[in-house]
């Protein structure tokens, strides 16, 4: 029996792709949220309200995106 | 009547295994949060316990794999399942006693395969399922977690740049509430399903369920409760090994290792691969450490962990086979399983008494 017949290649590849994209993607977006929060603190101290607001918006949107990916991931899990 | 007595023993033993799985295995899930100071031990374990319970209800793909794709259910008897479970529990206790991370999942599958082979020969193994759904994913998953965690921490440090460490550290500690929670949820869904699968296999073997049946609701609920109770009960010694001895990590590394672990386990669960969460989380921890600095990882400890992993399948299989042989000495009735149950309980009590005499394992310091 050929190894490729035994191993469910398609499922395994999809597992690798899903885990890689979500694992790295969520970390990148969450890091963006932290970057936004840190910049907001710095820019607020420098009394640059517009730039601080933009940084806060970036942080907020990134955080929402992380939560959306988490919820989507759990929904996909329950769909099979 | 005899088969019902054996079935009750199997269900009881399976739930006891599930408890030891939580006790032994789930501690690894919270180790990262505790070692970075993101959560205090009591709160982390309580939340992990709750999410383990919830996670058990999410999917049944892994249970279907364990029940139908590893050994030929048509030649399995409840006594074979019982012997396999004893093999898995015995190996879990040995590794718990010595504080070694192992794999409850591989112990369970190894135990069942060993007892089935002892009872009916090698033809009972379904090679496609064992190799394609258990062994290959067992190798791929921790390596994948290693790579994903390593790449994630690289991306994270690049995005964060030179921001103030205090805010960054606090942010990732908050993030670990999400990533740790997801990891606990993922653990519950993958690990509790293995017990569901084994109980379902026993029910099919007993004729209580038809071939290929899904786990009944009472099996899902009781498995969820058992693993949650086990998680809440402890595992301090293994927390110490995983959380502090592999690498000394910061909050960003904790977040990325947990995130990578959760992503790998959830994706694998979706496709019905029964994984070792211990392998995956340790792969993630090592990946996030190695990406920052290779020498930060204490490779000697990592090597010991790998040796324990490699030993798990054959050791649990050997104990499962031996247990089946002992059970068979008493014939096909319920006497063998009852005798083995009594002996096992005595061995467990002795192990706990000896561990208590030597002093409780030291909890890891938070902060």
Is residue B323 very low, low, confident or very high in pLDDT (cuts 50, 70, 90)?
A: very high
**pLDDT > 90? residue B264:** yes
Is B56:B193 a contact under the CB 8 Å cutoff? yes
* Residues of chain B neighbouring A25 (CB-CB closer than 8 A): none
- Looking at residues B119-139, what average pLDDT do you find? 89
CA distance B187 to B278: 9
pLDDT digits 0-9 by tens, B184-232: 999 888 988 989 999 998 999 888 888 888 899 999 999 999 999 988 8
Any B CB within 8 A of A69 CB:
no
* Residues of chain B neighbouring A11 (CB-CB closer than 8 A): 271-273
**Both tokens of residue B47?**
């939340």
Q: Report CB contact under 8 Å: B270, A15.
A: yes
Whether residue B228 is contained in a domain is answered as yes
Number of domains in chain B: 1
The total of other beta-carbon atoms located within 10 Å of residue B353's CB is: 10
Interface test with A, best of B193, B263, B279, B291 (most A CBs within 10 A): B263
Among A7, A15, A31, beta carbon nearest to B159:
A31
Interface test with B, best of A5, A16, A31, A71 (most B CBs within 10 A): A31
- B164 to A35, A42, B171, B255, B312: CA distances (angstroms): 9, 9, 11, 18, 44
Q: Three-class SS of residue B315?
A: helix
- Computed from CA positions of residues B92, B127, B83, B13, in that sequence, does the dihedral angle turn out positive or negative? positive
The distance in angstroms from the start CA to the end CA of chain A is 29
User: A59 to chain B: nearest residue by CA?
Assistant: B171
pLDDT digits 0-9 by tens, B67-118: 888 998 888 888 999 999 999 988 888 877 776 667 788 888 999 999 999 9
Q: Report CB contact under 8 Å: A73, B266.
A: yes
Whether residue B198 is contained in a domain is answered as yes
**pLDDT > 60? residue B363:** no
CB burial of residue B268 (10 Å; 0-12, 13-18, 19+): buried
**pLDDT > 70? residue B243:** no
- Looking at residues B25-37, what average pLDDT do you find? 77
**pLDDT > 60? residue B132:** yes
- What DSSP assignment string belongs to A9-63? HHHHHHHHHHHHHHHHHHHHHHHHHHHHHHHHHHHHHTT-HHHHHHHHHHHHHHH
pLDDT recorded at residue B51: 92
Q: Pick the more confident residue, A80 or B122.
A: B122
pLDDT recorded at residue B352: 78
Is B33:B180 a contact under the CB 8 Å cutoff? yes
pLDDT recorded at residue B234: 66
Number of H helices, E strands in chain B: 15, 0
| DSSP conformational letter for B69 | S
pLDDT recorded at residue B32: 82
The total of other beta-carbon atoms located within 10 Å of residue B325's CB is: 14
**Both tokens of residue A53?**
């607001």
Whether residue B367 is contained in a domain is answered as no
Any B CB within 8 A of A25 CB:
no
**pLDDT > 80? residue B267:** yes
Residue B172 pairs with which residues in a beta bridge?
none
Q: Report CB contact under 8 Å: A28, B131.
A: no
pLDDT recorded at residue B367: 29
Ramachandran angles phi, psi of A46, nearest 5°: -85, 0
pLDDT digits 0-9 by tens, B297-322: 777 767 766 776 788 889 999 999 99
Q: Report CB contact under 8 Å: B271, A74.
A: no
CA distance B353 to B351: 5
**pLDDT > 60? residue B37:** yes
Among B172, B263, B269, beta carbon nearest to A23:
B263
């139908």: which residue's tokens?
B68
Is residue B245 very low, low, confident or very high in pLDDT (cuts 50, 70, 90)?
A: low
- Looking at the whole model, is its pTM more than 0.80? yes
The total of other beta-carbon atoms located within 10 Å of residue B125's CB is: 17
Is residue B364 very low, low, confident or very high in pLDDT (cuts 50, 70, 90)?
A: very low
* Residues of chain B neighbouring A26 (CB-CB closer than 8 A): 259, 263
- Looking at residues B152-162, what average pLDDT do you find? 91
Any A CB within 8 A of B274 CB:
no
* Residues of chain A neighbouring B182 (CB-CB closer than 8 A): 70, 73
Is A34:B170 a contact under the CB 8 Å cutoff? no
Q: Report CB contact under 8 Å: A37, B153.
A: no
| DSSP conformational letter for B185 | H
Is residue B281 very low, low, confident or very high in pLDDT (cuts 50, 70, 90)?
A: confident
Whether residue B366 is contained in a domain is answered as no
Q: Which helix (H) or strand (E) holds A3?
A: helix A3-6
Residue B59 belongs to what domain range? 2-358
- Looking at residues B18-47, what average pLDDT do you find? 80
Considering chain B, what is the average pLDDT of its residues? 84
Out of B64-73, B160-169, B239-248, least confident range: B239-248
Counting as low any pLDDT under 70, the low residues of chain A are: 1-7, 78-80
Residue B71 pairs with which residues in a beta bridge?
B125
CB burial of residue B310 (10 Å; 0-12, 13-18, 19+): exposed
pLDDT recorded at residue B246: 53
Any A CB within 8 A of B64 CB:
no
């597992």: which residue's tokens?
A15
Whether residue B77 is contained in a domain is answered as yes
pLDDT recorded at residue B154: 94
- What DSSP assignment string belongs to B70-134? SB-GGG--HHHHHHHHHHHHHHHHHHHHTT----HHHHHHHHHHHHHHHHH-GGGB-HHHIIIII
pLDDT recorded at residue B361: 47
CA distance B311 to B63: 24
**Both tokens of residue B223?**
């498995």
- Looking at residues B246-267, what average pLDDT do you find? 88
Whether residue B215 is contained in a domain is answered as yes
């Amino acid at each position: 029996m050929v190894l490729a017949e035994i191993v469910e290649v398609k499922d395994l590849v999809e597992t690798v792709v899903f885990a890689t994209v979500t694992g790295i993607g969520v970390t990148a977006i969450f890091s963006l949220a932290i970057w936004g929060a840190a910049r907001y603190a710095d820019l607020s101290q420098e009394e640059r309200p517009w730039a601080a607001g933009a940084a806060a918006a970036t942080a907020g949107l990134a955080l929402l995106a992380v939560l959306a990916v988490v919820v989507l991931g759990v929904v996909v899990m329950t769909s099979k | 009547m005899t088969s019902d007595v054996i079935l009750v023993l199997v269900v009881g033993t399976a739930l006891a295994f599930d408890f030891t799985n939580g006790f032994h295995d789930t501690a690894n899930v919270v180790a990262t949060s505790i070692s970075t100071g993101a959560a205090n031990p009591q709160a982390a374990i309580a939340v992990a316990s709750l999410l383990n319970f919830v996670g058990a209800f999410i999917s049944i793909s892994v249970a279907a794999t364990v029940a139908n794709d590893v050994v030929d259910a048509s030649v399995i008897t409840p006594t074979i399942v019982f012997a396999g479970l004893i093999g898995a529990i015995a190996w879990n206790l040995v590794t718990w006693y010595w504080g070694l991370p192992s794999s409850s999942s591989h112990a369970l599958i190894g135990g069942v395969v060993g007892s089935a082979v002892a009872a009916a020969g090698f033809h009972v193994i379904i090679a496609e399922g064992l190799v394609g759904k258990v062994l290959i994913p067992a190798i791929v998953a921790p390596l994948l977690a290693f790579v994903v965690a390593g790449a994630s921490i690289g991306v994270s440090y690049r995005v964060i740049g030179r921001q103030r460490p205090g805010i960054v550290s606090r942010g990732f500690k908050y993030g670990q509430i999400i990533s740790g929670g997801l990891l606990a949820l993922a653990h519950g869904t993958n690990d509790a399903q293995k017990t569901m699968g084994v109980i379902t296999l026993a029910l099919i073997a007993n004729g209580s369920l038809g071939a290929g049946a899904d786990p009944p609701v009472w099996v899902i609920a009781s498995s969820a409760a058992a693993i949650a109770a086990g998680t809440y009960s402890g595992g301090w010694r293994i927390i110490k090994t995983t959380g502090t001895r592999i690498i000394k990590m910061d909050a960003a590394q904790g977040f990325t290792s947990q995130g990578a672990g959760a992503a790998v386990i959830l994706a694998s669960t979706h496709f019905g691969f029964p994984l070792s969460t211990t392998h995956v989380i340790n792969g993630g921890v090592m990946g996030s450490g190695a990406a920052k600095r290779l020498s930060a990882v204490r490779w000697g400890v990592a090597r010991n962990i790998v040796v324990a992993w490699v030993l798990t399948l054959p050791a649990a299989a050997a104990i499962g086979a031996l247990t089946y042989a002992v059970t068979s000495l008493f014939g096909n009735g319920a006497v063998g399983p009852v005798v083995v149950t009594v002996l096992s309980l005595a061995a467990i009590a002795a192990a706990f008494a000896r561990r208590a005499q030597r002093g409780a394992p030291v909890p890891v310091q938070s902060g």
